[in-house]
Amino acid sequence: MLIEATFFATLTAAMVVFMAPSRYAGKLATLLSVVPLGTSLYMWFTFDGSGNALLESGDIAFETTLSWLELGPYQLQWHVGVDGVSMPLLVLTTILTTLALISSWTPIDERESQFYGLMLLMEASLIGVFTALDFFLWFVFWEGVLIPMYFLIGVWGGPRRKYASIKFLVYTNVASLVMFIGLFGLVFGLGDSLTTLGLPEIAQGVRGGDLGSFAGLDPEALKAAAFLAMFAGFAVKVPVVPFHTWLPDAHVEAPTPVSVILAGVLLKMGTYALLRFNFTMLADVARDYAEIIAIFGVLSVIYGAMLALAQRDLKRIVAYSSISSMGYVILGLVAFTPHGFGGATFQMISHGLISGLMFMVVGVIYNTTHTRMVGDMSGMADKMPWTVGIFIAAAFGYMGLPLMSGFAGEVLVFIGAFHSTVIPGAPVYTAIAMFGIVIVAGYLLWAMQRTLFGPFKLETDYEVGPAAFHDVAPLVVLLLLVILLGVAPDIAYEMIQDAINPLLGGGA
């Protein structure tokens, strides 16, 4: 019942905030968001699940199954539950949302009740995405995330917000459709053996060899086609190069708190779904195409980093570097090794925290300077010492400094990918991808040198001084979490490993 409590508390909070007066909306939304944060943390500490939620390998934690309605031969269910992969993502969502809400207090100054309501609505959908175990339910939440996001960018965004929000919506929706078709190929292929649209049932059916022919495709071809469709669909979300161009536009136009959620949680929907669908349901197809997928991963890492290097806008730099970081996740997933899967999942959490932190800290500086352009300002360290200190720490976190979570995620991915047996030439691909750690240092150090250090220079009529306490506090919380996970990765890694191992146990 805790998942339901978390979900409905968020949904209720969203409704309440929509109706609240704008003056109080921010504080009220933050206060109400503490409820799902609290329940999800309680779930974390009482988590007793084991094994992978999609495979018959253990107990799904906080599971509820209720019959909902019948659709033809299929029983649609309210089926929710979490395992070691979704639990950390759920907590990531609730933590980041609360912090993002606090960080909205300063920059958001119009239509507050709608803004905060939409943020909470998005949180509710995200909770649904990470907990739903029925495809229909999952898909409703998956699509449900897009609508608040569309408005949040389109209404509160920057000058080109219309273009960015429409691009985001159309691009990700087309991707959803492609993915949807792929999944239903599998559903129909399974034929009568399937009585619900439950993700575990579909996964076990496909892995168990119950797949028949559909639409003139034999089971193997059907699997390959479904894999391709779903991969393409999710690749947009991650995003994998070359499906990434919606991302920088969306980020640059989105207000800071929305960027935090977009980079911190929304991108993880893509890799989470890849893990659940492509690498769990269709693991054998993924093994066959491992090398090609690995190349996409490596390409995302290097190409994304090179694009980041070419940017002058701090937010664009962070946006492109997300593409690079998510490339590591792809490389880790496709390696089919314990640390590959585990490191990739850990990297999702870690990148969620670090990119959230980076966007927030850039936002705090922007609130003061009203510019994000490298070259328009310098010597910020003199004016905002604590904010800049956190900026430096966050940037080093992004560069994968040891004892911060980024290092743990990346090094686990590298170890996992290096000795992969499904990718021919794995050491070479891994070594190429690892060059990302040099490029990321290049552009972040360069941007820091130009903006934070040197004599203070900024053309502005605004008063430039230290940020407000409530702007800095979320940064401190995130930084502490990044360090905590960096010093003791096992806090999350243990449960992740537990959920990952069944994927490698039997071989599909």
**What residues between 350 and 389 interact with another protein by CB under 8 A?**
379, 381-382
Question: Which of 102, 122, 129 has its CA nearest to residue 256?
Answer: 102
Binding residue count for another protein, defined by CB under 8 A: 87
| Tokens 């999710």 belong to residue | 234
> Which stretches within 134-214 are classed as H helix?
135-156, 161-190, 199-207
Least distance between another protein and beta carbon 146 (Å)? 8
* Nearer residue to another protein within complex by CB, 42 or 435: 435
In whole angstroms, how far apart are CA 202 and each of 4, 29, 86, 90? 23, 38, 18, 23
In whole angstroms, how far apart are CA 63 and each of 6, 129, 191, 499? 13, 15, 26, 15
Question: Which of 96, 246, 112, 234 has its CA nearest to residue 171?
Answer: 246
Binding mask 66-105 for another protein (x = CB under 8 A): -----xxxx-------------------------------
Residues 454, 458, 477, 484: which binds another protein (CB under 8 A)? 454
Dist. CA 360–CA 54, nearest whole Å: 35
Residues 229-248 that bind another protein (CB under 8 A): 242, 245-246
Q: Contact between 484 and another protein (CB under 8 A)? A: no
Asked if 299 contacts 387 with a C-beta cutoff of 8 angstroms, the reply is: no
Binding mask 422-441 for another protein (x = CB under 8 A): ---x-xx-xx--xx-xx--x
Residues 183-222 that bind another protein (CB under 8 A): 184, 187-188
Of 17-25, 272-280, 285-293, 393-401, the segment contacting another protein by CB under 8 A is 393-401
Q: Contact between 452 and another protein (CB under 8 A)? A: yes
Least distance between another protein and beta carbon 139 (Å)? 8
Beta bridge partners of 65: 79
Q: Report the SS3 class of residue 374.
A: strand
502: amino acid identity, one letter: P
Residues 151-180 that bind another protein (CB under 8 A): 151, 154-155, 160, 162-163, 166-167, 169-171, 173-174, 177, 180
Could you tell me which residues come within 8 angstroms of residue 35 by beta carbon, excluding any fewer than 6 positions away? 9, 10, 13
Q: What's the longest Cα–Cα distance across the chain?
A: 72
* Nearer residue to another protein within complex by CB, 228 or 401: 401
Q: Contact between 309 and another protein (CB under 8 A)? A: yes
3-state DSSP percent of the chain in helix, strand and coil, to 5: 75, 5, 20
Q: Contact between 476 and another protein (CB under 8 A)? A: no
Residues 127-156 that bind another protein (CB under 8 A): 143, 146-147, 150-151, 154-155
Residues 264-303 that bind another protein (CB under 8 A): 303
Dist. CA 179–CA 181, nearest whole Å: 5
Least distance between another protein and beta carbon 437 (Å)? 6
Q: Report the SS3 class of residue 61.
A: strand
Residues 394-423 that bind another protein (CB under 8 A): 396, 399, 401-403, 407-408, 411-412, 414-415, 418-419
Dist. CA 503–CA 281, nearest whole Å: 10
Of 27-35, 61-69, 350-358, 484-492, the segment contacting another protein by CB under 8 A is 484-492
Residues 13-52 that bind another protein (CB under 8 A): none
